[in-house]
Amino acid sequence: MKNTRIYPFERNKYFYGKLLTVRDFESEQKYFNDKRRMLNRLVYGAGVLCGLQVVDLGEKSIMVKSGAALDYSGREIVISQPVTLNLSTIEGFSNNDYVKNVYLCLVYDEQEKEKVHTIAGPTDNHMEVPEHNRIQESYRLFIRERALDVNHLNDASLFESRLMLYQDEKLRVMLIVPQYTLTGDLINVRVRIEKVLQTEKLEVAFKAELKGFSTLENQNVFSFAFAEKMDSRESVYEKSFQIKTTALAGEKAKITLDSKDVKLKTGDTIYTVPDSTGCSIKVLNESLHEEIFDKYYAKTLEKCLQDNSEQLICLAEISLLHVNSTFEIKKIKQVPYNQYVYNPSLEKCLEGIKSVAAKESSSGIETARASLKHLESSQQPHVEVLYEKEKKSIDFEFGIPLPEDRFSSGIVEIKFGDQAKSKEVFYSDEIEHKLGAGNVFLSYGLLDNDEYVFNEAVFIGDFSLFNQHAKIPEVSIGAVLYPQKGTFKLGFRLNRAARNTSVFVKWWACKI
């Protein structure tokens, strides 16, 4: 459909002696096609109706099974016979060595067929003009080498918002948050990163200011950090964190990101995030389902039938394993964006499963919540239950003892001043290792004074082997343990005069 505006509907009015032209017959077809397609779009939506599974055949080949789908204009797409394709010959596939995931997409297409000649052309030229006698409704398969924007593919915009932190041809970073919440609920905030594999190691960090929310540690600022592992690079990453709703019903909670608090880096390249961003989340006093239900049916006809810029159905996400100048298919994920059309038979089956489950566990309880409370390691675990009959709710609090610490570590500074002499002995104060009474294994080493701030170098054993590389004195070091007290003391002897006035000792203790 070149023009996706299909209404108001207009049909032919026939009468005796009416001269029928091409326009009249085309209008006849358009009237029925447009009505059917509008109902398809409004009643069923868009997506896979049946079949269309993508199968790996090996040798870089795939097979698309027969099936049917509806696109975002309500047009039917049918693959009547299984189609076998070599991945490298599909339109849009370039085998770039930086692409790991590619997307097999399906769109509606039309092809003219049965070429004939006509002398009644639309011009004054009376020469025979080639025309086609039929239009065959068909399809086109092609490859996309970048993840799709799901806001154009489904109704996710009804219940979630997307905040774009950064976007260019090779990198896209966004924050995905729900549009609604309830007081006291935990919500998942997702960070989605889409990139090409050619980019160097990626690092993302930001601070988000929370209003009407708090972190699980009851803070109003949340810090996020992600660093890509070079041995397992992907083209799409999605990380999530939870925050707690503290705002009351009717209020709007907010998440705000200041551009100066967003750090984005690939290799040595630092990206500038141009604008600060944020979103408001409505705190409801009623069911989330009712809110989405009302919002969906409040959409105008124009909004429901608006043209989707990408009239495609994504049939598969194909992960490639690149080997030198070629590739292999690693795995195939079917319909990665859940573009399905659920028919009444399937919905009836799912409702039946729900009703059976409800009968098996009918309790009259509409809301159940659970919370976790950490206890001291010496306390006994417990469960507390609070049932509110009027609210039809039940709350569980699980008290779980923290595991007994078996490892501890620390840094102690031993000062000896600038007048210390060779062979002079110095001792630390008594140090508590915090593992309690009993036997422990103790290990220790010297920190380079210059590296102490970053804690990057710890020297263990014969320190004289490394004093040419670090500013540590030549010393002998030992320790005495007090098992009944849960403490120890360190001592060391200067083997030669040193420029340092103190040493930093890193220690580790392990209960045995």
Domain boundary among 263, 283, 304: 304
In a domain, 238, yes or no: yes
Domain boundary among 346, 378, 404: 404
> Cα Rg for the chain, rounded, in angstroms?
34
For the segment 37-48, the average pLDDT, to the nearest whole number, is: 88
Domain identity same for 294 and 178? yes
Nearest to 153, CA basis, from 337, 369, 404, 355: 337
pLDDT number for residue 272: 83
Task: Report the C-alpha gap between 504 and 457 in whole angstroms.
Answer: 11
In a domain, 85, yes or no: yes
pLDDT number for residue 154: 61
Domain identity same for 119 and 184? no
For the segment 136-149, the average pLDDT, to the nearest whole number, is: 87
In a domain, 21, yes or no: no
**Residue 185: exposure state from Cβ atoms within 10 A (0-12, 13-18, ≥19):** middle
Whether the predicted pLDDT of 139 surpasses 90:
yes
Domain identity same for 190 and 321? no
Domain identity same for 81 and 191? no
In a domain, 352, yes or no: no
In a domain, 360, yes or no: no
- Strand 367-375 versus strand 393-401 pairing type: parallel
Q: What is the pLDDT of residues 2-16, one digit of tens each?
A: 445 667 888 899 999
pLDDT band at residue 82 under the 50/70/90 scheme: very high
Q: What is the pLDDT of residues 424-446, one digit of tens each?
A: 888 888 888 888 888 888 888 88
C-alpha of 180 from chain center: 19
Question: Quick count: other Cβ atoms within 10 Å of Cβ 130?
Answer: 9
Q: What is the pTM of this model?
A: 0.60
Share in percent of the chain as helix, strand, coil (round to 5) = 15, 45, 40
Looking at per-residue confidence, does 228 or 488 come out higher? Answer: 488
**Percent of the chain, pLDDT > 90?**
15
Amino acid residing at 276: S
Which range has the worst mean pLDDT, 109-113, 116-120, 126-130? 126-130
pLDDT number for residue 2: 44
pLDDT band at residue 454 under the 50/70/90 scheme: very low
Domain identity same for 142 and 217? no
Whether the predicted pLDDT of 278 surpasses 90:
no
Domain identity same for 371 and 500? no
For the segment 93-121, the average pLDDT, to the nearest whole number, is: 80
Which range has the worst mean pLDDT, 309-318, 365-374, 487-496? 365-374
pLDDT number for residue 400: 78
pLDDT number for residue 452: 45
Residue 90 contacts residue 84 (beta carbons within 8 Å): no
pLDDT number for residue 449: 62
Whether the predicted pLDDT of 307 surpasses 90:
no
| Average pLDDT in the chain | 81
Q: Which residues contact 401 (CB under 8 A, 6 or more apart)?
A: 374, 375, 376, 377, 378, 379, 380, 381
Going by the DSSP 8-state scheme, the letter that residue 38 receives in this structure is H
Number of independent structural domains in the chain: 4
Whether the predicted pLDDT of 323 surpasses 80:
no
Domain identity same for 291 and 323? no
Whether the predicted pLDDT of 182 surpasses 60:
yes
CA dihedral 326, 331, 336, 338 (to 10 degrees): 150
pLDDT number for residue 18: 92
In a domain, 255, yes or no: yes
Domain identity same for 505 and 489? yes
Domain identity same for 193 and 172? yes
For the segment 266-286, the average pLDDT, to the nearest whole number, is: 82
Domain identity same for 165 and 286? yes
pLDDT number for residue 55: 93
Domain identity same for 80 and 190? no
Domain identity same for 236 and 318? no
Looking at per-residue confidence, does 88 or 368 come out higher? Answer: 88
Question: Quick count: other Cβ atoms within 10 Å of Cβ 305?
Answer: 20
Q: What is the pLDDT of residues 335-391, one digit of tens each?
A: 988 889 887 777 777 777 766 555 555 556 667 777 777 777 667 787 888 877 777
pLDDT number for residue 104: 94
pLDDT number for residue 223: 87
In a domain, 339, yes or no: no
List the domain range (segments joined by +) for residue 120: 45-147+311-334
Mean pLDDT: which of 193-197, 328-332, 462-466, 479-483 is highest?
Answer: 479-483
In a domain, 431, yes or no: yes
Mean pLDDT: which of 33-42, 263-272, 472-481 is highest?
Answer: 33-42
pLDDT number for residue 358: 54
- Residue 351 phi, psi (nearest 5): -65, -40
Q: The CATH number of the domain where 193 resides is what?
A: 2.60.40.680
Domain boundary among 304, 325, 356: 304
